[in-house]
Structure 1
Amino acid sequence: MSSASKETESDKLGSKKIELHVHLEGTIRPATLLEIARRNGETLPADTVEGLEELYRFTDFRHFIQVWGMTTNCLRTAGDFRQVVVDYAERASGHGAVYLEGIFSPAERVESYGIDWDEIYSGYVEGAMEAEERFGLTVRLTPDLYRGCPTDLAEECARVSARYRDQGVVGLGMGGDELRGPLEPYRKTVEIARDGGLAFVPHAGETGGSESVREALELGAARLRHGIRAADDPELLAEIADRGVVLDVCPTSNLRTGVVEHLSTHPLPRLREAGALCSVNTDDPAMFGTDLGHEYELAARLGVTAADAYAAGLAGALCEDSVLARLTAL
């Protein structure tokens, strides 16, 4: 599997970066994933680094989701979750990141493995604190549900997430395959999260079309993860631009999962030309063989400068005002 260079041109220029869309489970490098699986007595579908890298040659989006579940579910303990945050924070800060919002998926682990909610959340929260202490990188957290999740479990997740609002949890997302079902069954979940002070940040407009984006906006999405299919609907795209809704764009992810055929056909230039704010992100960097510097380089080739991406990151960040003021002053 090809990997991004350790020091890209944007890194050499010292540009500061904000990342709003990275699945922390998808940041784990193969060697570390094997180590975590061994210490937890779990078996992965491949037992070598090379085997995992071969597994990461995804045929389409659904294949990616399948592999993601088969590999990342070896995480079990607060120590695992803490390590995931700290390891990625070190790499991201090396590429100039000053702020990131990390996604993690607690419901699957509670549902399938009976892991305690607090075991999961405390590990990620402690990892975020350690990341700031060691690397000066501010990390906020946005737990993610999946389409098809039982609604009672989703609502419980929203309540738990709200309990951690004062410990760095700032939003609640909805990921998975958009074609699996609508967001409407989770309206109460979204209301619980919002009442608890959390923003709603769903995946939409990745594998689904513009109608998926419209549904997410109707439910009050504060930001859209991906959202690239809005480019297919000029009226919708104009609305997004007018409202200042930030789209979290992940170029390599779109290519690796097959939702975009080639970089030259990526919708990012059309999104920007229409005035949409687009942050630049890695999504699942270890699984896609990329890093934050490489994504900024790809975005620059598509007409989005590092300054553009940083401005969109500021506009979309869910952090408290004091952190936003500091990021603005950098």
Structure 2
Amino acid sequence: MSDPSGFAVPSPTGPKIELHVHLEGTVRPATLLEMARRNSEALPARTVEGLADLYRFRDFDHFLKAWILTTHVMRTEADFRQVVVDYAAEAARAGAVYLEGIFSPWFRVHRGVRVEEIFHGYADGAIEARERYGVEVRLTPDIERVLPVEAAMEVARWAVRFADRGVVGIGLGGPEVGHPPEPFAPAFALAADGGLAAVPHAGETAGPVSVRGALDALGARRIRHGIRAAEDPELMRRLVDQGIVLDVCPVSNLRTRSVASLDDHPLAALLRAGVACSLATDDPAMFGTDLETEHAVAAGLGARARDLYTAGVAGALCDEPTRTRLRRIGESTDWDTVERAARDASAAASARFGGGEGAW
């Protein structure tokens, strides 16, 4: 359902903007198994329950291995289109009005998928998502930090080729420790020349130096995660002064052991310092989360839904007419009611993710 402005009707828990969601990581286990069957691809588990067991991560590296072992089953243009549409339906039920979807084309191309199928599938899915659910979707392909520079340049070239099909930025993902951002500066410069913004991951499992590198070497427009910036007051001041939005994903950080517990999460400290933080699920199917849950968790950490939405508007890589419509949705929202709903849900969410691994 959508309103006359063309956006999804907000849920009772308020409108939401999600700037950090890996589309491959949105596919729920039952759909993943279906894709594996129709594409004759093997998964490390044959049941929904088996995949759920696989998603009990020891640390970030274990998560990456599981991600690679499962997402390869997506092979066709129809698969990629379905991924976007399915997640738009899920996110719309939680009140999402705008999404920026991440995907990793190199992993697919490396396994023999044509790059055109990947980009056209996701782009067509974005169009269908808006038509069916009123959710605006933009695309931000990722460069993997494990790639040699020339391969990273190729990903940037692909992204620029599809700038007229909803690609608005380019990211940097994968194992952060041992893979600093600086070597990828040429690829991000190429993307910038093609009109794409830099939205790299940084400051998730590596410290403030990673965030500084993303800003200085890559010209980051926004930082995905960035939570380790809380360790450096000077860096936080810089983020505030430059208006850099962080895409924060609390449940993801807990599930990958980037933080030991929700009580240890830096979101509250970042907000106290004035850093603008949007909120996102990262890989919701793999982390057992969704947008409603993330907002309940964030409320328990002291975040206000109004501020998270405002940061999302500021950080979105959209055209100005879309940004204006997003602002109008925010201005028409009864945020007091939304805040009460979030606070009511926060205790249950905190109990779920504070109860040890069995609660996940």
TM-score category by the smaller chain?
over 0.9
Structure 1 counterpart of 2:148: 150
CA RMSD between the two structures: 0.9
Alignment of 1:190-269 (within 5 A): 190-218=188-216, 219-269=218-268
1:189 to 187, 192, 205: 187
Shift of residue 13, structure 1, vs aligned partner: 3.0
Distance 2:22 2:13 in 1: 24
Query: Is 1:300 aligned with 2:333?
Result: no
Letter aligned with residue 105 of structure 1: S
SS in 2 for 1:99: strand
Shift of residue 12, structure 1, vs aligned partner: 6.1
**Alignment deviations for residues 210-266 of structure 1 (CA, whole Å, 9 cap, x no partner):** 100110010210000000000001111111111110000000000000010111111
Distance 1:197 1:180 in 2: 29
Distance 1:320 1:156 in 2: 26
Distance 2:13 2:126 in 1: 23
Distance 2:181 2:107 in 1: 18
Distance 1:185 1:119 in 2: 29
Letter aligned with residue 286 of structure 1: A
2:182·2:214 contact (CA, 8 Å) conserved in 1? Answer: no
Distance 2:144 2:41 in 1: 23
Shift of residue 270, structure 1, vs aligned partner: 0.3
Distance 1:70 1:237 in 2: 36
Alignment of 1:1-330 (within 5 A): 13-111=12-110, 113-218=111-216, 219-330=218-329
Distance 1:36 1:13 in 2: 33
Greater CA deviation, 180-189 or 223-232?
180-189
Greater RCO, 1 or 2 (C-alpha within 8 Å, sep 6+): 1
Distance 2:149 2:72 in 1: 21
Shift of residue 182, structure 1, vs aligned partner: 1.5
SS in 2 for 1:69: helix
Shift of residue 306, structure 1, vs aligned partner: 1.1
SS in 2 for 1:178: coil
Shift of residue 320, structure 1, vs aligned partner: 1.0
1:148·1:180 contact (CA, 8 Å) conserved in 2? Answer: no
Greater CA deviation, 299-308 or 94-103?
299-308
**Alignment deviations for residues 139-191 of structure 1 (CA, whole Å, 9 cap, x no partner):** 00000111111222211111111111121100000000111311122111001
Shift of residue 102, structure 1, vs aligned partner: 0.4
SS in 1 for 2:177: helix
**Alignment deviations for residues 114-149 of structure 1 (CA, whole Å, 9 cap, x no partner):** 211111000000000000000000000000111111
Structure 2 residue ranges without an equivalent (≥5): 1-9, 330-360
- Provide runs of 4+ in structure 1 moved above 4 Å: none
2:77·2:117 contact (CA, 8 Å) conserved in 1? Answer: yes
SS in 1 for 2:221: coil
2:223·2:245 contact (CA, 8 Å) conserved in 1? Answer: yes
Distance 2:208 2:159 in 1: 29
2:11·2:93 contact (CA, 8 Å) conserved in 1? Answer: no
Letter aligned with residue 76 of structure 1: R
Letter aligned with residue 197 of structure 1: G
**Alignment deviations for residues 2-40 of structure 1 (CA, whole Å, 9 cap, x no partner):** xxxxxxxxx863400000000000000000000001100
Greater CA deviation, 178-187 or 71-80?
178-187
2:248·2:278 contact (CA, 8 Å) conserved in 1? Answer: yes
Q: Compute the TM-score of the two structures, normalised by the length of structure 1.
A: 0.95
Q: Compute the TM-score of the two structures, normalised by the length of structure 2.
A: 0.87
Distance 2:115 2:240 in 1: 37
